[in-house]
Amino acid sequence: MAGTTGSIRGWLQRYVSLPTLLVLGVLVYIVFVGENSVVRRVEYQAQIDSLRACIAQLEDSVQHYHELNSGLKSDPEAMERVVREHYNMKRQNEDVFITD
């Protein structure tokens, strides 16, 4: 086993120089460890995609409420329906069943 270790060390000394090792070390640091590492970039991109999906969902919700609001301004029957549904109100001689 000692002969194998010596041959590996001899091979490294012969074919791999110190500047090459330093460059490889810096590259490994940049790719895997540094602030802008590939792993972190993938995590950040996944977070960005998730936030974009959330923004799209919220924009759809805002659009829905804008349309509902404009409808409520122009249609008093729609206003009454929304208020009755939201506040569980009822007309006289009417039964309301609430289900969740």
Q: What percent of the chain has pLDDT over 90?
A: 24
In this structure, the chain runs to a length of 100
Distance CA 69, CA 64 (A): 9
* pLDDT confidence band for 72 (50 / 70 / 90): confident
pLDDT of amino acid 100: 67
**Cβ–Cβ < 8 Å for 54, 60:** no
Secondary structure of residue 85 in the 3-state scheme: helix
Residue 76 predicted with pLDDT over 60: yes
Buried b (16+ CB within 10 A) or exposed e, 70-88: eeeeeeeeeeeeeeeeeee
Q: What is the pTM of this model?
A: 0.52
Average pLDDT over residues 5-26: 83
The overall average pLDDT reported for the chain is 84
